Amino acid sequence: MNILVCVKRVPAPGAKINVTEDGLSVDSAHLGFTTSPHEECALEEAVQISERDGGEVTVLTLGPVEAEEQLRYGASVGAHHIILVPTDGSAWDPQRTAAALTTAIEQAEQANGQPFDLILFGNESADSGGFQVGVRVALKLGRPSVNAIKGIDPGDGSVIARREIDGGFEVYEVPTPAVLGIKEGINLPRYPTMKGRLASKKATLETAEIAAEPGGQALIRLHRPPEQASTTEILGTDETAAVRIVDILEEIGVLA
């Protein structure tokens, strides 16, 4: 089973996110970058499937040239091929992103002489969270898609996909080739080994320059939500605070 994983380079935030002066991006001056968490798990899932059942894993990203870092990371944890669709570094809207990714995927499939059995996306990106690029790509390619997947069991000509719902899972049987939106929790992603890191430096980076027209959604400005003017009431500094805590639980009616 050959699997393509589409990933996105995003800042790795800590306790706070600041915005640049022009309001168009996250101030990443003091932040590192990472692969969006759902996609990191999608990649791990693809690598696990290829280790178990054979086949190759390709990682594709659309982003600034620096996103090569996330592709090399993908190679370090087991991806066989890496493809970059470079942008000028500005944030592309979902329609534009989906159009360019579709072209890149069609080119890769043409070069391979066959479609990817599975294309995995993160359920949504950690930053812009548009909840749609995977669905758009699936429809452009004419393939079925299901989101929020937290379990994949590959079969012959189809995959069993488990979608998280409140208190359990829905089970789908999706014919391949298919597109799935993956959620964190499907697995625990590995850390790269030293051997993997070294090998990733030698991985061949393919670059696909693709132009695409902007869509109808435009970013005007990012800003932080107004701080809730909350004052924290300190109930105590040792376990005697338990009395006051239980008073509160009684007051708000959660204690029968």
Partner 1 sequence: MSLLVVLEHDRGKWVEANDEALTAARKLASDMGVELHAALVGVGARDLVSQAATGGAAVVHLCEHEVLTDYGPDAVGETVAQLVASINPSAITAVGTSRGNEVLAQLAARADLPFVANCMTVAPSDGPWSMTRVQWGGSLLEDATLDAPTKVLSFGHHSVVAEVADAPGAGEVREFAPALDPAMAATIVRDRDVQTAGVTLSTAPVVISGGRGVGSAEGFDQLEELAELLGGRVGCSRAVTNLGWRNHTDQVGQTGTRIAPEIYIATGISGAIQHWVGAMASKRILAINTDAEANMVTKADYAVIADLHKVVPAITAEIRRRQG
Using CB under 8 A, which residues numbered 123 to 142 contact partner 1?
Answer: 123-124, 126-132, 135-136, 138-140
Listed ranges 57-65, 77-85, 91-99, 106-114: which one lies at the site for partner 1 (CB under 8 A)? 91-99
Question: Which CB, 49 or 161, lies closer to partner 1?
Answer: 161
Question: Which CB, 211 or 220, lies closer to partner 1?
Answer: 220
Residue 134 tokens read as 């995977």
**Beta bridge mates, 35:** 9
Using CB under 8 A, which residues numbered 187 to 206 contact partner 1?
Answer: 188
User: Nearest 10 degrees: CA dihedral of 220, 12, 104, 154?
Assistant: -130
* Binder of partner 1 out of 58, 76, 87, 145 (CB under 8 A): 145
Per CB under 8 A, does 175 bind partner 1?
yes
Using CB under 8 A, which residues numbered 36 to 75 contact partner 1?
Answer: 37-38
Q: What whole-number distance in Å separates Cα of residue 54 and Cα of residue 98? A: 28
Question: Which CB, 82 or 152, lies closer to partner 1?
Answer: 152
Question: Which CB, 81 or 150, lies closer to partner 1?
Answer: 150
Number of residues assigned to the chain: 256
Backbone angles phi, psi at 146, to 5 degrees: -140, 140
Q: What whole-number distance in Å separates Cα of residue 240 and Cα of residue 256? A: 22
Using CB under 8 A, which residues numbered 204 to 223 contact partner 1?
Answer: 215-223
Exposed/middle/buried for residue 252 (C-beta within 10 Å: 0-12, 13-18, 19+): exposed
